[in-house]
Amino acid sequence: MTQKFWQEEFETLSRNDLEKLQVERLNKTIESACASPFYRELYKQKNINQGSIKSIEQIRELPFTTKQDLRENFPYGFLTLPKKDIVRLHSSSGTTGNPTVIFHTKHDLESWANLLARSLFTAGVRDTDVFQNICGYGLFTGGLGFQYGIERLGALSIPAGAGNSLRQIKLMRDYGTTAAHAIPSYLGRLYEVFEEEGMDPKKDTQLKILVIGAEPHTDAQRKRIEEMYGVRAYNSFGLSEMNGPGVAFECENQNGLHIWEDCYVVEIVNPDTLEPVPDGEYGELVMTTLDREAMPLIRYRTRDITRFIPGDCSCGRTHRRIDRITGRSDDMFIIKGCNVFPMQIEGVLMKIPEVGSDYMINLETMNGNDEMVVEVEVKKDWFRGDIRRLDNLTKTITRQIRDEVLAKPIVKLVEAGSIPKSEGKAVRVKDNRKNGLVD
């Protein structure tokens, strides 16, 4: 009999048993969280006792954790263990302010790799596949996260890294890549390079599975990718605070992402009232880690907007499905796979005396690529009529924004006074992207 699940004993647990497991693990998580300075203090204040959770609904009695909490307790305020037990960190980008950093023990990395292997298996990847990870390695979780997951699954991994389309194509053809992971906007660009080279990925590669994630996309965009490459494309969801990729994944039904409830408690709340929304309605995703030692997070507000898809899935997995992410309850946006807060851009510009602090970010699709165009006003008094000085300024701003958010912007200098002044809540981001639907 062919294996249907990666871990049948967890993936098909009855809801009742799954919730029992969650309660047990949540109590353990609260206990270990209380070894961290942050939760020790917070739970003392709120009078929360260890082992007090009897049913999973009681999680609502616990306070939320926010990104702000992570930043304020940077770097070690959430650690439950001494540094000798910690073996890796992943961190958000940023040269200004405190980045978001997540620490892992050996156990945490193993648990994460297992969830990724389970996710890939769910999407149909097997140990016979050749898997090309087209994704930046380093502090970004998409590189190493997938790497360890592919290895755990037993497929042949190609740690290709991001960009360099010609090399990606050569790797695919040399080694007969059958499965790959990339951000959806890049796959549009890569297809163009295939065409420029007179190739058709449907005929000239052996690809059959693409895993797409790290960037919101529509179902239409997925279908277009499937047509371009002649593959099935599966939606992957994760966030660095919850390890990274491997949090929720689509099965062969491609109808929502199973979110691994043996390792996370998943809630969807109204972002204004913070009360749970009825099943099937959209709200903010709130998550609790159940299998992380170094840095448990309890009721973490992800700011991602989604909903539970009602009903059971015919694949046999009992873990609920969330819908693709439709937006954010804050002003973060994702470009080239990088999470960007407009405040980061503002922070960079404020330190450059030649420009004003008013700015506009236009997200555009240009030549098949999604680009972040940042419009900046040149200060009137700084202008000397010299083109090279302006060119150098453009380069400086480009480099500094890139260092801050990791995505390279297109910086456009504009005349002083042409950007609306920041009064109250000025709109700083305009998203004109075509969602991969370019002809």
Partner 1 sequence: MAYIVSIFLENKIGHFERVTTILKENCINIRSMAINDTANGWGILDLITDDPQKALDKLSEKGVSVALRKVIALEMLDDVGGLNDLLIELSRAGINFNNAFGRIVQERKTAILVLSVEDYEESLAKLKSHGLTILDDAKVYGN
Nearer to partner 1, 351 or 380 (CB): 380
Cβ(247)–Cβ(264) below 8 Å: yes
From residue 324, give the alpha-carbon distance in Å to each of 18, 144, 270, 404: 23, 23, 17, 27
Residues 106-135 that bind partner 1 (CB under 8 A): none
- Measured CA to CA, the distance from residue 388 to residue 106 in angstroms comes to 52
| Binder of partner 1 out of 14, 387, 425, 432 (CB under 8 A) | 387
Residue 383 touches partner 1, criterion: CB under 8 A = yes
Helix (H, G, I), strand (E, B) or coil at 392: helix
Residue 155 touches partner 1, criterion: CB under 8 A = no
| Binder of partner 1 out of 417, 426, 427, 437 (CB under 8 A) | 417
CB under 8 A: which stretch of 68-76, 119-127, 225-233, 416-424 binds partner 1? 416-424
Nearer to partner 1, 1 or 387 (CB): 387
| Binder of partner 1 out of 35, 156, 414, 438 (CB under 8 A) | 414
Minimum distance from residue 366 beta carbon to partner 1 (Å) = 12
The count of chain residues that interact with partner 1, using the rule CB under 8 A, is: 18
The binding track of 205-244 with respect to partner 1, each residue x by CB under 8 A or -, is: ----------------------------------------
Buried b (16+ CB within 10 A) or exposed e, 77-112: bbbbeeeebbeeebbbbbeeeebbbbbbbeebbebb
User: Across 101-185, where does the E strand assignment appear?
Assistant: 101-105, 130-133, 156-158, 179-182
Minimum distance from residue 176 beta carbon to partner 1 (Å) = 41
Nearest to 239 by CA among 180, 306, 309: 306
Number of neighbouring beta carbons within 10 Å of residue 16: 9
- Measured CA to CA, the distance from residue 33 to residue 62 in angstroms comes to 13
Residue 392 touches partner 1, criterion: CB under 8 A = no
DSSP H or E stretch at residue 119: helix 106-122
Residues 339-378 that bind partner 1 (CB under 8 A): 378
Q: What are phi and psi of 99, to 5 degrees?
A: -75, 170
Q: What are the structure tokens assigned to 311, written together?
A: 């009903």
Nearer to partner 1, 84 or 384 (CB): 384
Residue 430 touches partner 1, criterion: CB under 8 A = no
Question: Which residues are at the interface with partner 1 (CB under 8 A)?
Answer: 378, 380, 383-387, 390-391, 394, 411-418
